[in-house]
């Protein structure tokens, strides 16, 4: 198996913003300073604003007044959901856990199920509907349901819980048009308890860098 992680941040932890038709902008990590309170899925979190140029760049592109913020102390600012966390585990601005893993084979299986249903015209869905941090290839469909611990390259991870999906997955990431899939098909085939499941939430057990093509080893 091999992992497909996102591109790493820039030197020093900064970001390079880019978008079609826009000049790119390199944003440095903000200097320590006054924080503002932000709401992340109901959690109140303190964060440091980026430079004004970053706010302007993002606002112009989004067509709304927005700000770019930096979590200056990810080790203490926001704990992982205590129902699934071990002592000391934290998360930054992600939904609920540090990383979300999905599998190419599981998406293929889901798209096959969508094709058999009454909303077949909405498929096949791309992986970006599920906004994963890491995508793995070379596994059996839904094999990730049984994983408890794994290593990606030099980093080990604990599988905290399956990922319950919300209505955002029904939104085309390019056009913002909304349909019924994948929730309709997940509801028929992937309902675990009260959640419609696709993907696994991960918490790192060690520090390090994961890279495109890293081998994936299932530990438990």
pLDDT tens per residue, range 93-126: 888 899 999 999 999 999 999 999 888 899 899 9
pLDDT, residue 153, reads 93
pTM over 0.75: yes
pLDDT, residue 10, reads 58
| CA proximity to 125, closest of 192, 181, 77, 81 | 181
What is the C-alpha to C-alpha distance for residues 176 and 159, in angstroms, rounded to an integer? 31
pLDDT at residue 32 is higher than 80: yes
pLDDT at residue 74 is higher than 90: no
CATH topology of domain 2-218: M1 Pyruvate Kinase; Domain 3 (2.40.33)
Q: Which residues of 23-54 are buried (b: 16+ CB within 10 A; e: fewer)?
A: eebebeebeeeebeeeebeeeebbbbbbeeeb
What is the C-alpha to C-alpha distance for residues 135 and 5, in angstroms, rounded to an integer? 7
pLDDT, residue 5, reads 43
* 167 contacts 187 by C-beta, under 8 angstroms: no
pLDDT, residue 82, reads 83
pLDDT tens per residue, range 2-14: 454 444 455 567 8
Q: How far is CA 195 from CA 31, 75, 161, 187, 192, in A?
A: 41, 29, 11, 8, 5
Q: Residue ranges of the domains in the chain?
A: 2-218
Q: Please, what is the average pLDDT of the chain? A: 90
């Amino acid at each position: 198996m091999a992992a497909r992680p996102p591109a790493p941040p820039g030197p020093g932890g900064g970001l390079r913003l880019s978008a079609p038709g826009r000049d790119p902008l390199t944003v440095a990590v903000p200097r320590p300073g006054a924080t503002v309170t932000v709401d992340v899925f109901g959690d109140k979190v303190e964060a440091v604003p980026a430079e004004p140029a970053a706010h302007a760049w993002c606002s112009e592109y989004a067509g709304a007044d927005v700000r770019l913020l930096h979590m200056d102390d990810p080790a203490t600012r926001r704990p992982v959901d205590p129902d699934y966390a071990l002592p000391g585990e934290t998360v930054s601005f992600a939904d609920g856990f540090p990383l979300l893993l999905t599998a190419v084979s599981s998406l293929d299986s889901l798209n096959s199920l969508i094709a058999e249903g009454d909303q077949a015209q909405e498929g096949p869905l791309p992986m970006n509907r599920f906004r994963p941090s890491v995508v793995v290839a070379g596994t059996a469909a839904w094999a990730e349901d049984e994983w408890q611990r794994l290593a990606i390259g030099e980093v080990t991870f604990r599988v905290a819980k399956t990922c319950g999906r919300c209505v955002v997955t029904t939104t085309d990431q390019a056009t913002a048009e909304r349909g019924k899939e994948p929730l309709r098909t997940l509801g028929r085939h992937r309902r675990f308890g009260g959640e419609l499941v696709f993907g696994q939430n991960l918490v790192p057990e060690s520090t390090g860098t994961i890279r495109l093509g890293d081998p994936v080893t299932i530990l438990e």
